[in-house]
A and B are shown apart, each in its own frame.
Chain A
Amino acid sequence: MGCVRLVNPVTLPTIISWLTYSSLLSMMALGVTLLYRTTKVANFAHASLVTSGAYVAYSVVVVLHPNPYVGVPLAFALVGGLGLLLFYGVLEPMRRRHSSTVMLMIATLAFDIVLFGVLNILADYLASAYFVPSRNILLSASDFTFLGQPGIFFVAVGVLSLCSVVLYFLLNFTTLGIALRASMENSSLAQAIGVNVTLMLAISWFAAGGLAGVSGALLPMWTLVNPNTGTVLLASMFCASIVGGLDEIYGAVLGGFLLGFVDVVGTSVLASNVGAWIAFYEPAVPLVVLCATLILAPRGLAGFLARRRK
């Protein structure tokens, strides 16, 4: 490390993996922020919702051996359903009893624990019934390549853009979206003007669950997945969501890409110039970014930019 010349590891592959990783992360964070905006709840269950997505998609692969991407829509539907289950089965009864936000969060935590148990049971079942590895899933071998780049890159970026665009139009150009936004801004007022707030919340929980499911379903195309993966990623999701700013849905995407950048590109640069040992602390990167953000822009990037625009 004597030489002054900076090693520049930022090559096309690095950019590609940054964009892929960030897209997946953003999809998860998008759900977290959406739920926060609608229900004012930080959804801890997002961890296992993501993992469920992966296992739904994988089960499809195991049973029918199709192209690994076939399971993605199913993951969206089923995990969206899990979101609804969490909402109608747990949160809604509590809301009717005016439970506090914190209690709702605990409920999501509890739901996460249950789901975690179920996923492990599923994993055991897959292993014993189909004789397949179910605790170290990686499907990237059966991924396609396009222009010499892995398919997951195009799919991840594509799906994220699609979701964002759809969400954008949904929120801004449909009566449903306007109702949804109304219930975000001021639920009691929305109630008063005849918006079915509960329905709106349910929709957002389905959407967020679906997003988690899709990101999870794409995960095995990129990295090794086991029942813990979601839990490992949870801190990153939350960081992305806060860094982006909880007050603006698209903050999540912003946060996801910033986090991904610092994580992949930033750490690479540091590791290859300062020393390899830095690479080890990669998991701490999101927290560092989070700290920095909270100190510089307590309302997150989006809030920060918004204030700038004024």
Chain B
Amino acid sequence: MALGQVILFIVDLLALFSIYLIINLGLNLQQGITGIPNFGLVLAVAGGAYITASLSTRLAIYLLNVHTNLDPIINNVSVLQLVNPILRSSPWLSTGLLALFLIIGGASGALMGLISSAPAVRLREDYLAITLLAFGEILNVVGTGYDPLIGGPPGTSLPDIFGWAGQYRFYWATLIMFLVAVIIFVYIERLVRTPFGRVLRAIRDNENTARSLGKDITRYRMSSILIGSILCGIAGALWALYSGAVTPSYDRFDYTFLPWLMILLGGIGSNIGTVVGTLVFVTLDELIDYFKYAFAPFLPFNVVWLNYLLLGLLTIFILIYRPEGIVREKWTSVPAAPPPAGEAKPG
């Protein structure tokens, strides 16, 4: 049993890691590679989650031609009782739906990226940052107020496309999420090595010069935001499918602050850094979560506040003492001007 718990601990950890890795790769592409400070990540993640959730049950009914006059959102659970048995019986059908839902998630993310950045992409960095942040949580207002989307505050459940795995559902789900994350990592890692990626990094390093060399800055920034948002959308959809339900409660802390913290930790600009940062952070966070009961008695305050204090202080510490994170950007041997003390060793 203890062993079972260890495995579970690691599996949960892996699930969170995969989700955040996808989001963080998207953020790193925007901030680390292109220099777009996206403080509105949560919008794309929520977009992926909500829109996928909203369409999933409807699509499932349609594709599996389940005949019911119940509303797929309002009588969600009852409808899913018709859908899920079918999915449980056929892994391949489920996986097909999964693929479809991920596409929808990505598209939704892209849509959100477009909406939030269209008015802002030409703005100066700082304006952009503030505007994107302000936009971040608007979807929660809609999700809460407009029931047909995801059924308002109670949220809605999604077809259980991992149901076929029976009691191993969460192991399989985690494995699949992990695979998706790996594929995306490889993809992004290749993308930034192409001439396209090179231009993105050039724009980040010196926008004016890039323009003087005939690069269409706006287009490149836009495509970077789009790719990033697609990744966030996929992550949102995946997490919704994994947990089986969504509520309009995706907030700035979980889906904007934490990703920033993770890429900071790993080293902004490097995808390997992003992986390391995500892994280290998620592990730390899970361990804090796990051990908090152990040292709760020694705390003068309720242990749940510990997360906030530790995460906040950790970030500040990194920013002040190791701004370049654990892994430095690969293409450079010394940080860009001017180097922090004791850092200037070439090669």
Contact = CB atoms under 8 A, between A and B. Distances in A.
B257 A109 contact: yes
A110 B315 contact: yes
| Interface size class of chain B, counting residues whose CB lies under 8 Å from the partner chain | 35 or more
B141 A116 contact: no
Interface string B72-90: 0000000000000000000
Given A106-B260, A111-B312, A284-B141, A298 B134 contact: no
A207 B45 CA distance: 36
Interface of A: 36, 40-42, 44, 90, 93-94, 97-99, 101-103, 105-107, 109-118, 120-121, 124-125, 231, 234-235, 238-239, 241-242, 246, 277, 280-281, 283-284, 286-287, 290-291, 294-295, 298
B129 A97 contact: no
A109 B39 CA distance: 10
B264 A106 contact: yes
Interface string B252-281: 110001001100100000000000000000
A295 to B, nearest CB: 6
B127 A246 contact: yes
Interface of B: 31, 37, 39, 119-120, 122-123, 125-127, 129-131, 133-138, 141-142, 145, 252-253, 257, 260-261, 264, 301-302, 305-309, 311-313, 315-316, 319-320, 323, 338, 340-341
Which applies to chain B's interface (DSSP): helix, strand, loop or mixed?
Answer: helix
Contact of A103 (B136, B138, B312, B319): B319
Nearest to B119: A294
29 contacts: A36-B126, A42-B130, A90-B319, A93-B320, A94-B319, A99-B323, A102-B129, A103-B319, A106-B315, A110-B257, A110-B315, A113-B253, A113-B308, A113-B311, A115-B312, A117-B305, A117-B306, A117-B307, A117-B309, A117-B312, A121-B301, A238-B130, A238-B134, A242-B127, A242-B130, A246-B126, A287-B135, A290-B131, A295-B119
Contact of A110 (B37, B39, B123, B319): B319
Nearest to A285: B141
Given A120-B305, A290-B131, 9 more contacts: A98-B340, A103-B323, A106-B319, A110-B311, A118-B305, A121-B301, A291-B119, A294-B131, A298-B122
